Structure 1
């Protein structure tokens, strides 16, 4: 096992030498804003990322989707850069920019030449401190979000199926809400709601910056301090919800009938997130069960039985709180849903009754580790991963995570299967062609 891990490490160094040896440092400004520097001079590229520690899980009741709506409005102009000019300025400098909202955080980023970092600093500082929330922009972006909601969920049976399963899996936990929001909630959001949300969460002590690439820390820190250090901190600490989910008693089930080509079965089990160590064993289990054509479920359901077109598993170990372990199968025949479910549960019981072989565990760990490393194959990807660990508490945990994956044993995988994969922890979704 140790020999294989060493081989993977050296392959990683040979392919991605900059990520293996790049210099990472941090500095905290007097207003609480943390700056993480990733110095990598191997290629003339850079990324500037602003992470806000707020996502859909922080939204007030009845205002789901407000985080995502605010993300849209962040591009509509600020005091010193009014109008819809943010992206145009970045593009004029030869760069690209974007943003994304998750259940746990919101990220704004640019990729551009290192010599143009000052542009990102000026633009991001101004919209952190001086966002212009104009009524006409608000109404326009609200319509855009509602249309996005219709296209990506209401008219997409698969996405809607996942939304329904998540909403029944959680009764109280704020993860039950979709990031894009419910239609009625989006419609009810007012401009004052967005302004208050911005004031509560978009401040230096609830954010951090990652600057990565061919940069010089001493040069960049001076530019950042000039623009960001005088932005006032939040008057009070941003409100955090008490994350609580009542105990589940029995299986929960939702059936959705929509126009779709293939029926779909979704099985979801509540599981913990990192740094809870069970999350690492669940990552290995996910690989064994349903990641790739050599996985147990793919071999059984696609190759041997020919009952499904595709089957996969998914886990979210880097969430701020425990989420769901998904098993998803796209079936050929709607009449075979019960049979497919039975086979999946038989494969789960196999692991409960018989530990996976050391060879299978070794292979799965190698796949998890390789995927973890290859997702950091660029300065941008590496910065994103550091950011995700900083959201969990500290970017330095990234090295510990990889080390702990290597230590997972067959017994650990069996234990988490027994612990979490049971009737009282299961939510089922069935998508039927209408």
Structure 2
């Protein structure tokens, strides 16, 4: 289960890698579980999850809200991400901008991120400062103070963020256009940061309405990983979060994507492009969709076809045919609704994009016709599961993996049983899932091109892989 997520981080200080849930296949570890979390629920409905790790006297403290860009009312795109920024603008007891300064003065780091399905806030800090950050996080869960004086300047900040990270980035622009073409009706086609013309109209009232609608303990998950036990954590959670009143939250609506009848093509030509590239997205199931049983086989298939320098695509397009400098695939099954399965490739100098796309098509067609081999299945499964050794060592990795899964409606048991699902994947399942998903009628292909005669080196660009760049 690859728990990579598409996100917009709150500010620059911390760069965290996209995390994969990668686990062990060996029976003793499978029996013991993955992270072996402990869970409880407070009287107001807030879920509490703990992953003990006593290697160092530090903790990761995270609060996840089950609300993201896909929950926004049409016409207010970007409000989920905007409110994430505004959560740092103060309460009755903490002045605007002081939250992060307090964390830093106490030796910690903090940040936040927004996706289509959730918004999360976190602090990495010494064990003896956990109560302090819990008190501050609980404070802003219920006592956020907003006025035009702080909201309107911050709106200018997110508008500038969009200009810098999207409008001035050809790769990001192409990715935005591709997603909007792939999801014809579904809100996953809406950019997390928002459409510029709608962002410019966001108000203080919009932000407060969003806050009051979704930010409540019964719509939140507290995940802590580190040097603490549940006997210690639960009383602290009750003290700081348990007294916050719960209120009803609306049902989260995800409209059904209509039947798609034709492949789409998006071409972006821009003098700022430093390196041309191509990408392709296919609609794919997630662990929450009707065909969730296809998710584990697709994870294995992506590992075989496009993960690393030993993958089929890399060996064919880069090593053997020498048409590309890199090539690969991507797939993220953790979402409330549909996901994407995709490919990317960067042509070598002098190679025409049409020739590269034709070679990619040929490799995909060959794989679908002949299928993968048992040897490829065994090796891919082993690689996925062996990597799990490192997942246990990551303090924040455990918290993020569990929080992400729970925020989209999965369960702790589904996270813990992932090795069993991967071990159960068969050759026929991988081949069948690949043939079902790689349907051109449910795809979008994107070309990122540099115009002929453009002068200068262009800005650094990367193929559109479906992962929103973090900052």
- In structure 2, relative to structure 1, the CA distance for the partners of 1:243 and 1:371 (3 Å cut) is farther
Query: Does the residue aligned with 1:277 lie in a helix, a strand or coil?
Result: helix
| Structure 2 counterpart of 1:244 | 256
Task: Please say if 1:260 is aligned against 2:273.
Answer: yes
Alignment partners' CA distance in 1, 2:258 and 2:294: 20
Which has the larger share of helix? 1
SS at match of 1:46: strand
- Distance in 2, Cα, partners of 1:334 & 1:188: 45
Give the alignment partner of residue 176 of structure 1, picking from 178, 186, 189: 189
CA distance in 1, matches of 2:142, 2:204: 17
Matches within 5 A, 1:80-99: 80-99=93-112
Gaps of 5+ in 1: 14-18
Aligned to 2:333: 317
1:351 Cα deviation (Å)? 2.2
In the TM superposition, residue 246 of structure 1 has moved relative to its aligned partner by: 0.4
> Are the aligned partners of 2:69 and 2:190 in contact in 1 as well (CA < 8 Å)?
yes
Q: Cα–Cα, structure 1 residues 370 and 133, in superposed 2: closer, same or farther, change >3 Å? A: farther
1:278 aligns with 2:294: yes
Change (3 A) 1:157 1:361: same
Task: Show the counterpart of 2:14.
Answer: none
TM alignment of 1:106-145, pairs within 5 A: 106-145=119-158
After superposition, give the CA deviation of every residue in 1:164-221 in whole Å (9 maximum; x if it has no partner): 1111001110100111111111111111011000000010111010122111322322
Q: CA deviation at 1:7?
A: 8.1
CA distance, structure 2, for counterparts of residue 22 and residue 207 of structure 1? 21
Q: Please give the residue correspondences for 1:46-57 in structure 2 after superposition, counting only pairs within 5 Å.
A: 46-57=59-70
Q: Is the 8 A contact 1:12 1:373 kept in 2?
A: no
> In the alignment, which residue of structure 1 is the partner of 2:455?
none
- Separation in structure 2 between the aligned mates of residue 157 and residue 117 of structure 1, nearest angstrom: 42
Matches within 5 A, 1:196-215: 196-215=209-228
Quick one: structure 1 residues 279 and 373, their matched pair in 2 at CA, closer, same or farther if it must change by over 3 Å?
Answer: farther
**Paired residues of 1:251 and 1:424 also in contact (CA < 8 A):** yes
What's the CA shift for 1:334? 7.1
Partner residue in 2 for 1:344: 360
Aligned to 1:381: 397
Give the TM-score taking structure 2 as reference length: 0.86
CA distance in 2, matches of 1:307, 1:11: 45
CA distance in 2 between partners of 1:86 and 1:291 (Å): 40
TM-score (norm 1): 0.93
Which structure has more relative contact order (CA 8 Å, sep 6+)? It is 2
Partner residue of 1:410? 427
Contact persistence 2:34–2:416 (CA under 8 A): no
- 2:163 matched to 1:150? yes
1:363 aligns with 2:379: yes
Q: Does 1:423 align with 2:435?
A: no
Work out which of the residue numbers 299, 309, 320 in structure 2 matches 1:293: 309
